[in-house]
């Protein structure tokens, strides 16, 4: 049940609750095994985000030619730099940003999703472990600490800002570097 819920939440491009909060709730409410919970949660979150990115690729063809050209130029720029795609992969490991927008961008840019998904999975194993372990310790020491973060106005505002930023990214006139003669 937790896996299906986490998968469904991670298919959402915006406004979903953070996965860590669902995992913390499940651990505190149902006293599930924390190691299994973290591994299943990370796998389900990664699967959901992968499908989100792959689905985003399907809508690329609906954009104008200019929009698609800008996306292709940005993708070429990332791929053309030695650290470009790897930097993007590292961003998936350590980013505090909501991951839905990162996966939508990866899908639009047609980046290597397997590398990004593996990075995301590795990062989530660490962060979910920290969240679940911290919640257990705090719960034992101070009582229940689960809050309704995803309904807070600042969280909704952050989601909106990131959606706008991602949607404006292809409008930037990305130009490929010309080969030097």
DSSP 72-98: HHHHHHHHHSTTHHHHHHHHHHH--S-
pTM, full prediction: 0.74
Euclidean distance between CA atoms 79 and 22, whole angstroms: 35
- What mean pLDDT, rounded, does the chain reach? 85
For residue 11, the 8-state DSSP code is T
In this predicted structure, the answer to whether residue 54 has a pLDDT above a threshold of 80 is: yes
Euclidean distance between CA atoms 17 and 147, whole angstroms: 11
Euclidean distance between CA atoms 40 and 26, whole angstroms: 12
Q: Which element (helix H / strand E) includes 49?
A: helix 34-59
Q: Is residue 62 part of a domain?
A: yes
In this predicted structure, the answer to whether residue 83 has a pLDDT above a threshold of 80 is: no
Number of structural domains (the chain) is: 1
Q: Is residue 179 part of a domain?
A: no
Three-class SS of 20-31: HHHHHHHHHHHC
In this predicted structure, the answer to whether residue 113 has a pLDDT above a threshold of 80 is: yes
Q: Is residue 77 part of a domain?
A: yes
Q: Is residue 178 part of a domain?
A: no
Q: Is residue 156 part of a domain?
A: yes
């Amino acid at each position: 049940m937790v896996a299906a819920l986490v998968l469904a939440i991670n298919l959402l491009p915006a406004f979903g609750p953070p996965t860590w909060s669902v995992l913390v709730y499940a651990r505190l409410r149902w006293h599930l095994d924390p190691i299994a919970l973290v591994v299943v949660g990370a796998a389900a979150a990664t699967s959901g985000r992968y499908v989100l990115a792959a689905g985003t690729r399907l809508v690329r063809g609906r954009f104008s030619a200019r929009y698609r050209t800008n996306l292709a130029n940005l993708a070429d720029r990332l791929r053309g730099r030695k650290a470009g795609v790897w930097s993007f992969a590292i961003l998936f490991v350590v980013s505090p940003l909501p991951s839905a927008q990162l996966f939508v961008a990866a899908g639009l840019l047609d980046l290597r999703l397997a590398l990004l998904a593996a990075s995301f999975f590795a990062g989530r194993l660490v962060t979910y472990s920290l969240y679940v372990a911290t919640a257990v310790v705090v719960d034992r020491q101070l009582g229940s600490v689960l809050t309704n973060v995803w309904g807070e106005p600042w969280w909704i505002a952050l989601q909106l800002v990131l959606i706008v930023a991602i949607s404006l990214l292809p409008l930037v006139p990305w130009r490929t570097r010309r080969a030097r003669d």
